[in-house]
A = this chain, B = another copy of it.
Amino acid sequence: MTRPRSFDEAAVLHDAMDAFRRSGFAGVSIKDLGDATGLTSGSIYNAFGDKEGLYRAAFGYYIDAVIRRRIETYVGEANDLNGLEQLFLSLLCAPESDEHGCLLTNAAVEFGAQPSVASQGLAEGFAVLEAAIRRVVEGQIGGGQVGLLVARLLLLYQGILVLIRAGQNISACPAVIRSEFEQLRKLLP
């Protein structure tokens, strides 16, 4: 009975994700989203309910297909500092560095802490990110300063994504990341 979707949902969410990363939620219209995804407004409303529904779906897709995937790729099962360092260095490459920035960071700044269409995605995204960092720091270094070190890395992560989005000169970032992780390695037992 239920007909299969006639469009590629992952591809649509990918395109919508890029549109939201580029222009934010308020800065993009249903028409823009139709142009970006190749769907008509009717199809969007039928498939996702409304603009907020599409945003939520695209945000969820971003968390899974970009953030979780990046963590698995670089940190994976090893949970070591080298992998986490590679993860940070990878931020300087696509897709975050493609001038659209990170949807998590962009949404955090656009919506802030108020309840919004982004609240759930923000909570999940920050939790996933912090958990991955904490897993590595706790497993490799431990001790009483885990909270401090995790906060340092989270701050660095967000700072990098702001500078990338702003188009600032990020040529010094690799050296900052490497010096940060060199410091952490000195704390290895």
Contact = CB atoms under 8 A, between A and B. Distances in A.
A100 B109 CA distance: 9
Given A158-B158, A158-B159, A159-B155, A113 B165 contact: yes
Contacts of A150: 172
Contacts of A42: none
Interface string A160-182: 11110111100011011001100
A31 B147 CA distance: 44
Interface string A119-131: 0001000100000
Nearest to A28: B26
B151 A162 contact: no
Interface centre among A152, A155, A176 (most CB of B within 10 A): A155
The A contact surface, by secondary structure, is: helix
A108 interface: yes
Given A148-B172, A172-B148, A113 B159 contact: no
B108 A165 contact: yes
A24 B26 contact: yes
Contacts of A26: 23-24, 26-27
Contact of A165 (B112, B154, B156, B173): B112
Contact of A151 (B24, B122, B157, B172): B172
A106 interface: yes
A15 interface: no
A68 interface: no
18 contacts: A22-B112, A24-B110, A26-B26, A26-B27, A105-B109, A108-B166, A109-B110, A109-B162, A126-B168, A148-B175, A154-B159, A155-B155, A155-B156, A155-B173, A157-B159, A158-B159, A161-B162, A162-B162
Closest 5 A/B residue pairs (Cβ)? A113-B167, A155-B159, A159-B159, A151-B172, A108-B166
